[in-house]
């Protein structure tokens, strides 16, 4: 889908996603220590036709106890695109187009498609308000 003409932000729906809940459901987290651990993320990214970059780096995992028993797993976001340590506890890591590393949506400055759609009529409402056709109730 890509970016809208008025927005420089990618949507999470445009990205590749690593979801901790799906990893747990598929059994990848069985036998991992309870408090803190890490997994190795390995993938390749096409940079040009028939040219690939290989990536291989650890992602920290952390678990927290649930109120009625069991544990909930989290990724610890390692770095944002500027290379600065983030440290947020998140359930999903995203890889936008042209990005190199998986990070949380805050580090990649991602939005949701539904948020874009909710602002589609904003410019029309502003024009209608200016000409007195539409009265903004929230002013």
* Model pLDDT, residue 130: 72
For the chain, percent of residues with pLDDT exceeding 90: 18
pLDDT for residue 37 is more than 70: yes
pLDDT tens sequence across 61-87? 998 998 998 889 999 998 776 777 888
Count of structural domains, the chain: 1
Q: What is the pLDDT of residues 93-102, one digit of tens each?
A: 998 888 888 9
Write out pLDDT tens, residues 8-25.
Answer: 778 888 888 999 999 989
Which domain covers residue 32, as residue numbers?
Answer: 12-109
> How far, in Å, are 32, 73, 103, 106 from residue 96 at the CA level?
29, 23, 9, 12
Q: Is 40 left (phi over 0), alpha (psi -120 to 50) or beta?
A: beta
**Is 118 within a domain?**
no
Q: Is 128 a domain residue?
A: no
Residue 50 lies in a domain: yes
Separation CA 124–CA 139 (nearest Å): 17
> Tell me, what's the pLDDT at 89?
94
Task: Report residue 119 as tokens.
Answer: 């602002």
The pLDDT assigned to 17 comes to 92
Residue 133 lies in a domain: no
């Amino acid at each position: 889908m890509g970016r809208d003409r008025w927005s420089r932000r990618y949507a999470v729906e445009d990205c590749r996603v690593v979801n901790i809940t799906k990893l747990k459901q598929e059994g990848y987290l069985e036998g991992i220590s309870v408090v803190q651990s890490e997994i190795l993320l390995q993938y390749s990214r096409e940079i040009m036709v028939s040219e690939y970059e290989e990536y291989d780096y650890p992602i920290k995992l952390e678990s927290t106890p649930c109120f009625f028993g069991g544990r909930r797993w989290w990724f610890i976001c390692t770095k944002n695109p500027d290379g600065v340590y983030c440290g947020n506890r998140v359930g999903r890591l995203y890889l936008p187009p042209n990005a190199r590393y998986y990070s949380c949506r805050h580090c990649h400055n991602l939005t949701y498609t539904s948020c874009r759609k909710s602002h589609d009529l904003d410019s029309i409402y502003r024009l209608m308000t200016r000409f007195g056709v539409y009265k903004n109730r929230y002013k």
